[in-house]
Chains A and B, each alone.
Chain A
Amino acid sequence: MNNNGIPKWANKFLSTICPDHLIEEIEGDLIQKFNRDIKNFGEKRAKRRLLWNIIRFFRPGIIFRNRFSVDLNQGYMLTNYFKVAARVMLRNKAYAVINIAGLALGITSAILLFLWIAKEFNYEQFHVDKDRIYEAWNRELANGEINCWSTTPRILAPTLVEEYPAVESAISYGAYHSSHLFTAGKTQLIKTSGVFTDASFLTMFSFPLLKGNPSTALGNPNSIVITESFAKQLFGDKEPFGADVTIGESGYTFPFTVTGILKDLPSTTEFHFDYLVSWQFLESLGEKDTYWGNNSVLTFVKLREGEDVNQFTEIVKDIAKKHSKEESSVEVFLYPLTKLRLYSKFENGVQAGGRIENIRMIGILGICLIAIACINFINLSTARAQKRAKEVGVRKVTGAHRHSLIIQFLCESVLLALGAGIISIVIVFLSLPSFSMLVQQSLSLDFQSITFWSIAIAFIVFIGVLAGSYPAFYLSSFHPVRILKGAPITSAHRGRLRQLLVVLQFGFAVTMILSVIVIGKQIRYAQHREAGYAKDHLIYQPMTGDLEKNYQAYKNELLSSGVATSVTKTSAPITERWSNTNEISWNGKDPLDKILIERFNVDEDISTTAGLTILEGRDMDLQHYPSDSTAVLLNETAAKLMGFKHPVGEIILDNEIEWHVIGVIKDFVLTSPYQKIEPLVILGGKKEMFGTIHIRLNPNRLVPPTMEAISELYSKYNPDYPFEYHFVDEEYQRKFSSLKATLTITTLFGSIAIFIACLGLLGLSTFMIESRVKEIGIRKVMGGSVINIIKLLSIDSLKPILVAIIIFTPLAWLAMSWFLQTFDYRIALNIWVFLLAGLSIITIGLLTIGLQTFGAANGNPAKNLRAE
């Protein structure tokens, strides 16, 4: 029998639990006892007793007799590793700088981008009942496609609460952005950031009240809930809670009492308001809005606990069809509050991306930047392997295990990453404010939180291990005998791997350059698009306070004093969508056709004020044609849509009013300069429809004195309100701001990517020239010209860049055409864009390696060859 009767597993068990210096006698005693037991009790019982005896050795008296020790060798060696790492870095300062700078830039960008992503995922997460809150959406089958939209009728929320027991509460949320003049004592303020909502808003969401009772604060028609900072603006240091305030709107004033002070809204919410007013107030003024076709508010629903949203959606979807007086094919469905920010884009009724697509791109960008920085490290370490080979050889000969060498090299990379990490945290700290501004998000870093530091350190160590693991395995694999004999490290396929990694780096760089060029071109293209009206010398003002009453006098004086050449009242600024509908009908309209038509109301003279071109018919002119309050101008697209051969004189029906077409205007850009022109009807209208005044300034006068003159007239006719105006051309430029921000971000991170890649290229080419310095010397001695040597050296470095351009250009082409598809009015991708991108990356590459290559080729060969 093995081991004199002790089974193998038992033996193993014993040697695990018993201290080494005791194992021999314990085994001996066990065997001796076993042999005696065989004599006394027979083999079978003896064996049982033996096993029992062995198991009994598992006791604290034995186990704790093991020497628990730390091998301080490890500690000494660790210090040594760090010491060696520091010395290696100091000896090759340039490489250390290249590595650390690259890593620091990569880590900085990644931290900034990941902070941004984390912020996006934090939206609406603070609501206690966030999992039970939904937004009600509408969907409708129109022209063969399911349209989804989030505005709903005002009557939806009360109906949901009344008729569906599964609903705990439902509220309408109306943000109309109308100007309200607040008066509290002597303070007067104009705010447009008010929201009409139901009383249960404060209990549904978790916006904490500093003062006031959330369940009753909005219970009164004349109660108002304001935010902390608005209270400060309005009341200063006086106690705002319970104070009286009046709100003025279009000439009327209403008294309110402050019944709640809200803590300022967190930055992780899409709700934006300074004050809340109850629907009861609006409804106490006039009729309740019970029309199911008027989608003007957002509706939020909180289901009771345990209710299944899918089941409920099934029940509730026909609510509009059931209640609506007219025939309606609109269905209601619920969408989770927590998904609204990132996932609320629908295509043909199915959730399809949304902001999350951008977030994914940002994530990929961050990962790519880190990867590029890590590639630098990998390339430089493997390229310089020869320099470390002797050290590895000596360490191995003196007894180093491979794993300890791996640990050594990992220590080096972690040390490097830590250095880079510290630098990048400092850069992040310094650049966070400007980055926040760039991405229009208030990002912050909590430098006191342990979570932040632990995540940051874990992340940085991870980067160190990620960058260092391949070089560590490679460097530790050298055969000591061969190295110490002086044999060179054969690295043909390592060289190929390095080139592959460089290809990846520059492939990414090419893609980024291309994106920058394409986005920039697209913006310029859209900016140069014919707007269809004269944007300069045109301003608009909101119709506030007494202006409505004094409009005619104001207009007359503007015209007679010569500061303005034309003045028109409109329903909205010409740069904004005001209202649209699919319920306009005309002679010959297909009843199933549900195409959306934009609506815009004007009183008269819109063509002269805005500089629109009349193609057919005439402009509105109330003086000569008093019936023009029911006249309509079509834009070309609308005229084509309606299929009128001679539009003038036709009748269209909207809101049960017959509008007679008096003219056709040339298409102009109302909403997005990137999209095709929507069909538009410019309707006449009644007095109360006009919320904006457009003024065409006299082009022969200087702007500053003109504005001064207008300001004077304004304060004469509307003394309570501050002078407010907007230049249309400035507002028009805002349409480009989001794409411009994308361009800035792409340019920024593209430049960082290119910079890091170039750092790596610089390091590699320096190394290559260093190791070929003798070859260059000999070539020169043998008569090689400087140009030839430069060519020789450059081609080696540029080859991977060329490969990158060839491989990545088609991919970038695909990505860019996919990106451009989101625009109706877009540039065509042509070959020049790609040539430009390729050429610029080659130029950048050449500039990077140029100086060194030139220096090496120009060097004195005698100097380089002397050492032999």
Chain B
Amino acid sequence: MLICLTKYNEMKKEYLGEFEELILTMVGVLREEAYGAMIAQEIETRQKREVNLSAVHVTLYRLEDKGLIKSSYGGSTSERGGRRKRLYIVTSAGFAILGAMKAARMDLWKLLPELKTFGA
């Protein structure tokens, strides 16, 4: 009988860092194909940004702890040396926080008229 002493499933105050938000968005974007290596690869190709695999993994675990994404085992390919993927999908809580963050940002955007004119 094992008793777990560490508790990760505690809900903390809702706040996402920039990298967390990026990963969460990526999971949403990649839909059925969201797993560590794929996410890292997509960030590299789309955002032209070098990310470390371990950073992606750690962030994914953290997001899962917060209940924003959930995971299940996927298939294995020879490319992965026979190891299964862990596939992530965004939970409704995840979508909610993405939406909330976007709305909050949009509110702020509206308060930046100069930027609008400047950009125009």
Contacts and interface: CB of A to CB of B under 8 A. Distances in A.
Q: Interface size for chain A: under 10, 10 to 19, 20 to 34, or 35 or more residues?
A: 20 to 34
Interface stretch (A58-66, A250-258, A682-690, A753-761): A58-66
Interface in B41-63: 41, 52-55, 57-58, 61-62
B62 A61 contact: yes
A256 to B, nearest CB: 74
A72 B1 CA distance: 7
Chain A interface mostly helix, strand, loop or mixed?
A: helix
A23 to B, nearest CB: 9
Nearest to B39: A29
Contact of B36 (A26, A36, A62, A72): A26
Interface in A333-384: none
Contacts of A5: 81
A5 B79 CA distance: 11
A61 B62 CA distance: 8
B81 A69 contact: no
Interface string A228-256: 00000000000000000000000000000
B2 A25 contact: no
A67 interface: yes
A4 B3 contact: no
Chain B interface mostly helix, strand, loop or mixed?
A: mixed
B1 A29 contact: no
Nearest to B80: A28
Given A28-B37, A32-B37, A33-B37, A59 B80 contact: no
A35 interface: yes
Contacts of B41: 33, 36
A100 B90 CA distance: 67
Contact of A56 (B5, B6, B53): B53
B83 A31 contact: yes
Interface in B19-36: 35-36
A4 B55 CA distance: 22
A433 B6 CA distance: 54
Contacts of A65: 8, 61
Contacts of B53: 29-30, 33, 53, 56-57
A267 B5 CA distance: 54
Contacts of A311: none
Contact of A69 (B3, B40, B52): B3
Contact of B85 (A25, A57, A59): A25
B70 interface: no
Given A59-B54, A62-B54, A69 B79 contact: no
A71 B36 contact: no
B104 interface: no
A56 B85 contact: no
B79 A31 contact: yes
Contacts of A59: 54, 58
A24 interface: yes
Interface in A38-73: 53, 56-57, 59, 61-62, 64-65, 67-73
Contact of A67 (B1, B2, B52, B55): B2
Interface in A438-454: none
A62 B58 CA distance: 6
A61 B84 contact: no
B92 interface: no
A3 interface: yes
B4 interface: yes
A24 to B, nearest CB: 5
Given A4-B81, A36-B41, A61-B62, A29 B57 contact: yes
Contacts of A3: 81
B31 to A, nearest CB: 18
B83 A24 contact: yes
A27 interface: yes
6 contacts: A22-B57, A26-B36, A28-B81, A29-B85, A59-B54, A61-B54
Interface of B: 1-6, 8, 35-37, 40-41, 52-55, 57-58, 61-62, 76-77, 79-86
Q: Which 3 A-B pairs have the closest CB atoms?
A: A28-B83, A61-B58, A4-B81
